[in-house]
């Protein structure tokens, strides 16, 4: 196992003060392996590619990297359909590449969090193949949810649940002679059968998988569909339109069952056997942030993504309300709040904010790109001033917009196809990121890329923005360096709101005798504003004395 960051903290990650729990205020950067860096020219990113670009992440100033799945998978849902939880898919490299990546990251002071997909496997998983091949009496079928159909001939699905990706959540099996048989449950694509978490073999298997990756040296796990593992007894009908969409927090009979918490308590006990403050972060879509807080009680997980924050429009009073409610809910269980604006499932925030509010999280319109970028930069600076941990998604540090005009024939998001093109536009935020101004895929790799990149991608590249005054990349670097150096940014669990004109969100944060004021003008017009101290950083051109520019966030150091 490679040396752990705790063993040899390099100068670049030494904090100005010792605070418990690196993760309570960590900035964690999501790498989407397919689209980060391609080392071998097959058009698909890979682990050696990520390794070669780790210095970018060190220079950016993040604390940890979360890698979306790179396990053996037929890629029906971009790797969230795992066929072998202990193997690296050849398209991404080998297990030795994973070990080398962890070792290199640790040497640079970066922690590595991997994705765990326990709600469902791939239909190519050995258990599922054997369950199908073994017929209705196969004991392997009890590790999934197989049921006879309803109707005179079993021709109707066992209940009324619908898949998050569109259509029924059930697919009917066919026997070797072509006779239709039982149905199996898949809350996502048919290629992603749901595990039966009431079966002890499932729980045993995942404890073993956790140990496998912990022994390899990972610093934590992001838990996919953490709210979905346990289904209600008897799989009752939802009794109405049950259709869930990605990130949908509405109450559903198949999500957020109380039984999931026993799973996480057992995982936490296992994790705590390992040294080095390793963590779990839950992807849990819950009806309220208070329900999300149940996943991060002291003996369960460490963090949960704050999707309420991600879905809040660029509006001062809405933002203030979600910040207060999030802090209150997490404080009640002693967990740090997390903040996130973009990930691989939603339209990038530069494009969401370029469009009118209320259009959801998957957009197909570019909107006003200049406005979107201005607001995105302001939103990021606001997020990074809040107490708790922040998640960044690859490419947002370049101010990338979503690619809204991908040709339908290039799309790969399974929900696009199941929803007949009415939904499922996640490919737009998954386009491989640009590293250089030119080259066959703007430095992504030596050849093309699995999704077409727009013609203006080179101007947004890491190389084009490095050292460029006012670039989004330099703004992120400055923000993270300032946050790292200033004790009042990130730490703690409170904000002190200040009186501010309508449309402005202003608060003060204080720690270790030093204070910061952050003000965000969410309106499209300048507002009168008296600077409360010395400016530290601004998301846009530095304010003229006496006013706060439109759609701009500023940090000041204050007495």
What is the closest distance, in whole angstroms, from the C-beta atom of residue 503 to ligand NOJ in the complex?
Answer: 33
What is the closest distance, in whole angstroms, from the C-beta atom of residue 50 to ligand NOJ in the complex?
Answer: 18
- Is 423 an active-site residue? no
Q: Choose between 382 and 429: whose C-beta lies nearer to ligand NOJ.
A: 429
Q: Say how many residues touch ligand NOJ, by CB under 6 A.
A: 9
Tell me if residue 274 falls in helix, strand or coil.
coil
Close Cβ partners of 49 (under 8 Å, ≥ 6 residues apart): 36, 37, 38, 39, 445
The whole-angstrom separation of Cα 255 and Cα 357 is: 27
The residue among 409, 422, 427, 414 whose CA lies nearest residue 81 is 414
The whole-angstrom separation of Cα 204 and Cα 197 is: 10
- Cβ atoms of 174 and 219 closer than 8 Å: no
Q: Choose between 226 and 519: whose C-beta lies nearer to ligand NOJ.
A: 226
What is the closest distance, in whole angstroms, from the C-beta atom of residue 195 to ligand NOJ in the complex?
Answer: 12
The whole-angstrom separation of Cα 37 and Cα 52 is: 8
Find the catalytic residue in 177, 273, 408, 409: 273
What is the closest distance, in whole angstroms, from the C-beta atom of residue 78 to ligand NOJ in the complex?
Answer: 7
What is the closest distance, in whole angstroms, from the C-beta atom of residue 161 to ligand NOJ in the complex?
Answer: 15
The whole-angstrom separation of Cα 537 and Cα 482 is: 8
Burial class (CB in 10 A: 0-12, 13-18, 19+), 413: buried
Tell me if residue 184 falls in helix, strand or coil.
strand
- Cβ atoms of 35 and 250 closer than 8 Å: no
What is the closest distance, in whole angstroms, from the C-beta atom of residue 187 to ligand NOJ in the complex?
Answer: 8
- Residue among 224, 277, 396, 427 that touches ligand NOJ (CB under 6 A): 224
- Residue among 91, 225, 346, 518 that touches ligand NOJ (CB under 6 A): 225
> Torsions phi, psi of 179, nearest 5?
-75, 130
Q: What is the contact mask toward ligand NOJ in residues 169 to 198, using x (rule: CB under 6 A)?
A: -------------------x----------
Tell me if residue 219 falls in helix, strand or coil.
coil
Q: Choose between 198 and 248: whose C-beta lies nearer to ligand NOJ.
A: 248
Bridge partners, 511 (sequence order): 514
The whole-angstrom separation of Cα 340 and Cα 334 is: 19
Quickly list DSSP for 434-459: P-SSSSTTTTS-SS--SSPPPTTTGG
- Cβ atoms of 81 and 189 closer than 8 Å: yes
**Number of residue whose CB is nearest ligand NOJ:** 80
What is the closest distance, in whole angstroms, from the C-beta atom of residue 121 to ligand NOJ in the complex?
Answer: 10
Residue 148: Cβ within 10 Å count: 11
Q: Note whether 162 binds ligand NOJ by CB under 6 A.
A: no
Q: Choose between 25 and 224: whose C-beta lies nearer to ligand NOJ.
A: 224
Q: Choose between 431 and 537: whose C-beta lies nearer to ligand NOJ.
A: 431
Q: Choose between 225 and 350: whose C-beta lies nearer to ligand NOJ.
A: 225
For CA atoms 465, 468, 472, 475, give the dihedral sign: positive
Q: Note whether 345 binds ligand NOJ by CB under 6 A.
A: yes
Q: Note whether 32 binds ligand NOJ by CB under 6 A.
A: no
What is the closest distance, in whole angstroms, from the C-beta atom of residue 193 to ligand NOJ in the complex?
Answer: 12
Residues 64-123 that bind ligand NOJ (CB under 6 A): 77, 80, 117
Q: Choose between 340 and 462: whose C-beta lies nearer to ligand NOJ.
A: 340
Query: If you ran DSSP here, which 8-state letter would residue 225 be given?
Result: T
Residues 440-479 that bind ligand NOJ (CB under 6 A): none
Residues 231-290 that bind ligand NOJ (CB under 6 A): 283
- Is 224 an active-site residue? yes
Query: If you ran DSSP here, which 8-state letter would residue 226 be given?
Result: T
Find the catalytic residue in 224, 256, 413, 427: 224
Q: Choose between 274 and 417: whose C-beta lies nearer to ligand NOJ.
A: 417
Binding site for ligand NOJ (CB under 6 A): 77, 80, 117, 188, 224-225, 283, 344-345
Give the active site residues.
224, 273
């Amino acid at each position: 196992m490679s040396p752990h960051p705790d063993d040899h903290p390099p100068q670049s990650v030494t904090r100005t003060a010792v605070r418990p729990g690196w993760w309570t205020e960590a900035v964690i950067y999501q790498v989407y392996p397919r689209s980060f860096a391609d080392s071998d020219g097959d058009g698909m990113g890979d682990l050696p590619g990520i390794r070669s670009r780790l210095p970018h992440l060190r220079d950016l100033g993040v604390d940890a990297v979360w890698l979306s799945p790179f396990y053996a998978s037929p890629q029906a849902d971009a790797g969230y359909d795992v066929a072998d939880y202990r193997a690296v898919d050849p398209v991404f490299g080998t297990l030795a590449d994973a070990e080398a990546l962890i070792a290199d990251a640790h040497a640079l002071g970066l922690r590595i969090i991997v994705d765990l997909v326990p709600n469902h496997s791939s239909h190519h998983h050995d258990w599922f193949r054997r369950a199908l091949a073994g017929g209705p009496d196969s004991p392997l079928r009890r590790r999934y949810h197989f049921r006879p159909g309803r109707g005179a001939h079993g021709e109707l699905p066992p209940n009324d649940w619908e898949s998050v990706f569109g259509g029924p959540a059930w697919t009917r099996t066919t026997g070797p002679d072509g006779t239709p048989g039982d149905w199996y449950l898949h809350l996502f694509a048919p290629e992603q059968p749901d595990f039966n978490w009431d079966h002890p073999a499932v729980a045993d298997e995942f404890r073993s998988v956790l140990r496998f990756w912990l022994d390899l040296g990972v610093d934590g796990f992001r838990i996919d569909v953490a709210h979905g593992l346990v289904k209600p007894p008897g799989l009752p009908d939802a009794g109405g339109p049950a259709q869930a969409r990605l990130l949908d927090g509405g109450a559903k009979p198949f999500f957020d069952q109380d039984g999931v918490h026993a799973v996480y308590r057992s995982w936490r006990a296992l994790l705590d056997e390992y040294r080095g403050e390793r963590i779990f972060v839950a992807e849990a879509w819950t009806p309220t942030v208070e329900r999300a807080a149940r996943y991060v009680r002291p003996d369960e997980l460490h963090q949960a993504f704050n999707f309420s924050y991600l879905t809040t429009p660029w509006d001062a009073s809405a933002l203030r309300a979600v910040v207060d409610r999030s802090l209150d809910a997490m404080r009640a269980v002693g967990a740090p709040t997390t903040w996130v604006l973009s990930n691989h499932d939603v339209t990038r925030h530069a494009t969401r904010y370029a469009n009118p509010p209320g259009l959801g999280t998957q957009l197909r319109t570019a909107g006003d790109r200049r406005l979107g970028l201005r607001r995105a930069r302001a939103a990021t600076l606001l997020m990074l001033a809040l107490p708790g941990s922040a998640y960044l998604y690859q490419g947002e540090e370049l101010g990338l917009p979503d690619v809204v005009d991908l040709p339908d024939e290039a799309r790969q998001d399974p929900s696009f196809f199941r929803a007949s093109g009415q939904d499922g536009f996640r490919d737009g935020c998954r386009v491989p990121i640009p590293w250089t101004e030119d080259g066959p895929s703007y430095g992504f790799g030596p050849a093309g890329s699995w999704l077409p990149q727009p013609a203006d991608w080179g101007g947004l590249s890491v190389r084009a923005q490095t050292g460029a005054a006012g670039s989004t990349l330099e703004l992120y670097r400055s923000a993270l360096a300032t946050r790292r150096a200033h004790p009042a940014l990130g730490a703690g669990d409170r904000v002190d709101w200040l009186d501010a004109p309508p449309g402005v969100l202003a608060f003060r944060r204080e720690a270790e005798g030093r204070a910061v004021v952050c003000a965000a003008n969410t309106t499209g017009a300048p507002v009168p504003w008296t600077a409360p101290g010395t400016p530290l950083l601004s998301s846009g051109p530095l304010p003229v004395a006496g006013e706060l520019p439109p759609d701009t966030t500023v940090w000041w150091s204050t007495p």
